[in-house]
């Protein structure tokens, strides 16, 4: 298995997922297939499947692994010296950040928040995960409560 190809494909897939999220938010929700893909989190699910395969292959020795672990910084550093574990970790970031971005987008749409306010939120969720989520929570306080539904 060429890990560079999987890495590049996962990056492109995640980027496309973010583009589809923005299109959905800007009005693409009127297209039933795109609306279903966003509302049902299909894109991060696909990335999560890639992650599951990569982490399983790494843990079973199919992909290169290392002797690292999660008990210390040194252990985590050693763990990610393996290309298999590094790939799995990267796809984990891509999947989870997109999952959060979609949840934030659905919640913002319920509140009627402008796409222009959401673009920087999504940028920070995509690039810096928790920073974008903190920014969203601050905006959400100002936006007030929405009806029933996603409360990310």
- The reply to whether 31 falls in a domain is yes
Q: What domain count does the chain have?
A: 1
Q: 101 and 22 in contact (C-beta within 8 Å)?
A: no
Q: Is residue 124 predicted with pLDDT exceeding 90?
A: yes
Is the CB of residue 38 less than 8 Å from the CB of residue 18?
Answer: no
Q: Which segment of 29-38, 82-91, 119-128, 129-138 scores lowest on mean pLDDT?
A: 29-38
DSSP letter, residue 29: G
Q: Are 91 and 10 in contact (CB under 8 A)?
A: yes
pLDDT at 146: 55
| Residue ranges making up the domain that contains 86 | 3-106
**How many DSSP H helices and E strands does the chain contain?**
7, 0
Residue 69: inside a domain, yes or no? yes
* pLDDT over threshold 60, residue 120: yes
pLDDT-derived band at 102 (thresholds 50, 70, 90) equals very high
Q: What is the pTM of this model?
A: 0.87
113 within domain boundaries = no
Would you state the torsion angle of the CA atoms of residues 119, 132, 103, 126, taken in this order, to the nearest 10 degrees? 70
Is 126 part of a structural domain of the chain?
no
Within a domain: residue 152?
no
The predicted model gives 59-65 an average pLDDT of 84
């Amino acid at each position: 298995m060429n890990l560079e190809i999987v890495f590049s494909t996962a990056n492109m897939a995640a980027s496309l997922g973010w583009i589809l999220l923005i299109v959905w938010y800007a009005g693409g929700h009127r297209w039933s297939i795109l609306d279903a893909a966003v509302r049902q989190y299909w894109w991060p699910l696909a990335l999560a499947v890639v992650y599951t395969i990569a982490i399983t292959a790494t843990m079973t020795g199919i992909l290169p692994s290392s002797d690292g672990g999660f008990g210390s910084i040194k252990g985590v550093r050693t763990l990610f010296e393996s290309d298999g574990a590094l790939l799995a970790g990267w796809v984990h970031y891509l999947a989870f950040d997109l999952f959060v971005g979609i949840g934030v987008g659905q919640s913002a749409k319920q509140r009627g928040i402008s796409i222009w306010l959401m673009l920087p939120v999504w940028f920070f969720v995509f690039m810096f995960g928790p920073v974008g989520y903190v920014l969203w929570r601050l905006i959400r306080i100002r936006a007030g409560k929405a009806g029933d539904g996603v409360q990310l």
